Amino acid sequence: MSAKRSKSSHVWSYMRKEESNSVVCLICKTSFKFTGTTSNLLKHLRLKHPTENEELIKNAEEQEAKKSKSAAAGPSTQPNIMDTFQAAMKYKDGAPRKQMLDRLVLRLVVEDLQPFSVIEDRGFCRLVKALDPRYSFPSRRTLARTLLPEIFSQERTRLEA
């Protein structure tokens, strides 16, 4: 059931304001005194309509996730041209930052006993993209055949010294 919400709380999906101090539950038609807060309305939903309350919580969590996602994307103002070009330019293969991030990804794989394919997991890619949009992962083949032997050789030399 949905009604126009006059307030920002999701409880208004199940309640309708009748007068300045009166609210009616759209499910059971119970009338409540409204003092400006939704706590008694939420309590009614929780106790009398648990299914709808679960739906309300789920919807609120989804809305919060959407807000967080859009907030993580940054402000809605238009970026200047330099910011746009810089964000679009990926690190070059020899760039110190890319080399450091490649090593950190390899350490994650080795230390946490992760498969090389972890770099292709959507959630992991999304996290890294949010942290540094300019970074692009090396291929699994590069990790296994180039970076791992290099790091292994460096560590071996360090331990033998």
Q: Is the pLDDT of residue 104 over 50?
A: yes
Backbone angles phi, psi at 5, to 5 degrees: -90, 125
Per the document, the length of the chain is 161
The 10s digit of each residue's pLDDT in 19-59 is 778 889 888 988 888 888 888 888 888 888 888 878 877 77
Whether the full predicted model's pTM is greater than 0.85, yes or no, is no
| CA-based torsion, 128, 129, 133, 136: positive or negative | positive
